[in-house]
Amino acid sequence: MTDTLLDIVRRYVAAHADADGLAQTPIAGLTTIRSNDATGLLHGIARPLICLVLQGAKQVAIGATCVTYGPGDSLLITADVPTISQIVAAPYMSLVLDLDPAVLFELTAQMRTVPAGDGARVESTDAEVADAALRLMRLLDRPASVPVLHAQLVRELNYWLLAGRHGPAIRRLGGPDGMPSAWRARWRCCGPNMRGRCRWNAWRRRPG
């Protein structure tokens, strides 16, 4: 039986996750996340990243924008921004890759230019992105292959991100300015049920 991306991520977090459910991989910028329960509101500073949700669902508020994403969705964030997030369906499992402007710049220079976007958005995960992520995670079962093969797979994954649904929004990271401007809109929680319950002492930098 062929392992799915969820199978591999589930196995990896079971062996390596810390008390918060985070498991950093030997591949720089690649993190797996697990939560067995729904959570309250968490404050954080999100860096530029792509988050592939494999199980469960999460709600994230960034400025005036509130998005909910679940299995088969991917969340793109293209700037360092404050977030308020909450896991709304558990168990929750995701795979997060930090976006590297240097890699994106090199790839963007070789690809046809399209309009750039900004901020954060949720789209269905492109099949090519999921396939590249699966092959990248499979490397972890063979540690000797990681230093030899991971860079080309990370590059491929970035290529499919640029070529896919997130392309217009992600390309600005690879543009001449290097990084989109940070959002300065004041935040709002997602709906009345989330307002007034923010734990201001719970700030932390955390991936998807």
Tens digit of pLDDT for each residue in 49-67? 999 999 999 999 988 889 9
Is there a domain that residue 152 lies in?
Answer: yes
Residue 2: pLDDT over 50: yes
Q: Are 20 and 202 in contact (CB under 8 A)?
A: no
Q: Residue 56 has what pLDDT?
A: 98
Q: Residue 101 has what pLDDT?
A: 87
Is there a domain that residue 80 lies in?
Answer: yes
Is there a domain that residue 106 lies in?
Answer: yes
The terminus-to-terminus CA distance of the chain in angstroms comes to: 29
Is there a domain that residue 191 lies in?
Answer: no
Phi, psi dihedral angles at 71 (to 5 degrees)? -55, 135
**Residue 80 pLDDT grade (very low, low, confident, very high; cuts 50, 70, 90):** confident
17/23 Cα distance (integer angstroms) = 4
Q: What is the total count of domains within the chain?
A: 1
Q: Residue 33 has what pLDDT?
A: 97
**80-101 CB burial, b ≥16 within 10 A, e <16:** ebbbbbbbebbebbbbbbebbb
Is there a domain that residue 56 lies in?
Answer: yes
List the domain range (segments joined by +) for residue 56: 5-177
Phi, psi dihedral angles at 168 (to 5 degrees)? -60, -35
Q: What is the mean pLDDT of residues 150-155?
A: 96
Q: Residue 109 has what pLDDT?
A: 83
Phi, psi dihedral angles at 78 (to 5 degrees)? -115, 15
Residue 207: pLDDT over 60: no
Q: Residue 45 has what pLDDT?
A: 85
Q: What is the mean pLDDT of residues 164-179?
A: 68
Which of the two residues, 79 and 26, has the higher pLDDT score? 26
- The two tokens of residue 160 are 């499919």
CATH number of the domain that residue 58 is part of: 2.60.120.280
Is there a domain that residue 124 lies in?
Answer: yes
Residue 75: pLDDT over 60: yes
